[in-house]
Amino acid sequence: MQRSVFFISDSTGITAETIGNSILAQFEGVQFEKHRLPFIDDPQKAEAAATRIKTRYAQSGERPIVVNTMADRTLCDIVATSGALMLDVFAPFIGPLEDELATRHSGAVNRSHGLVDFEKYEARINATNYALSHDDGIDVDYAKADLILVGVSRSGKTPTCLYMALHYGVSAANYPLTDEDLEKLELPARLRPYKNRLFGLTIEPARLAQIREQRRPGSRYATLKQCQWELEQADRLLRQAGIPCLNTTHVSIEEIASKIFDQFGIERTMF
């Protein structure tokens, strides 16, 4: 039996979804069926949401859970007529913060994911363009990189670079280790000046083979043997060069990025 959960927001719903998922993850035995209802910003939309939740309640016989970041009390009250368990994300924190800051909160519609700070926005877009144009290890200007990810093909470098750029405005280049590098067990000459900005990504051979097989089925590139050889050599090379390294097999992109920032003392925040 799955318990229905609705993430409801007057804006994107990202905050409701993020905190909601973190809390639900602490109830491991329960299966949740998750829905996102963003931009619920007038009574009509709130009525429609309530109807939908009520219908789900009737179908399943289990009380749905609403994780809610709507600021307007009237809209909250409308959604509450569905009979769901209402969890208001902001309510518990507003009081203590008003006391601490000796000011009232604005009660404005939640705009943290909607507000555009052009400077930060531009940093994110520029970093994304940088990641896109420094993704192949060929025509690259490593001097401008905040950091450079090194690893064999398909070890997770590209998505990690894109994530760090899109969210944190961090300009990350990546360098895919070539067979030549792996045979020589040497960092390529043009990476050496930037040794203190290098970070290695590694992965379990079986997982790498699986990922490569999807990409080039039946190729030598995707064989377990080839993957094992590449990863062993890469591991040796990175260890000899004293480059910090992370095994990405069981780690999400978000966590890889956080660990890399932690390693380099990059404390940039997301917003």
**Where in 237-256 is the site for a second copy (CB under 8 A)?**
250-255
Min. distance of Cβ 76 from a second copy in angstroms?
15
Nearer to a second copy, 69 or 226 (CB): 69
115 is a contact residue toward a second copy (CB under 8 A): yes
Nearest to 194 by CA among 167, 172, 165: 172
Contact window for a second copy (CB under 8 A) among 118-126, 141-149, 192-200, 232-240: 118-126
- Rule CB under 8 A: choose which of 101, 138, 143, 189 binds a second copy: 101
Nearer to a second copy, 98 or 232 (CB): 98
- Rule CB under 8 A: choose which of 4, 110, 171, 233 binds a second copy: 110
Min. distance of Cβ 185 from a second copy in angstroms?
29
Nearer to a second copy, 115 or 185 (CB): 115
User: Contacts with a second copy in 176-215 (CB under 8 A)?
Assistant: 211, 214
- Rule CB under 8 A: choose which of 53, 76, 149, 162 binds a second copy: 162
111 is a contact residue toward a second copy (CB under 8 A): yes
- Rule CB under 8 A: choose which of 73, 105, 225, 239 binds a second copy: 105
Give 32's strand partners.
3
Are 234 and 185 spatial neighbours (Cβ–Cβ below 8 Å)? no
For CA atoms 132, 138, 141, 142, the dihedral sign is: positive
Nearest to 47 by CA among 72, 25, 79, 20: 79
Q: Which two tokens stand for residue 71?
A: 């600021």
264 is a contact residue toward a second copy (CB under 8 A): no
User: Contacts with a second copy in 40-69 (CB under 8 A)?
Assistant: 63, 65, 69
38 is a contact residue toward a second copy (CB under 8 A): yes
- The CA distance from 44 to 47, in Å, is 5
Min. distance of Cβ 96 from a second copy in angstroms?
7
- The CA distance from 241 to 225, in Å, is 24
- Rule CB under 8 A: choose which of 163, 173, 182, 231 binds a second copy: 163
Are 67 and 22 spatial neighbours (Cβ–Cβ below 8 Å)? no
Nearer to a second copy, 127 or 191 (CB): 127
Q: Which two tokens stand for residue 252?
A: 């999400």
Which residue, chain included where needed, has tokens 């591991």?
235
- Rule CB under 8 A: choose which of 80, 94, 123, 224 binds a second copy: 94
Which residues participate in the annotated binding site for ADP? Answer: 151-158
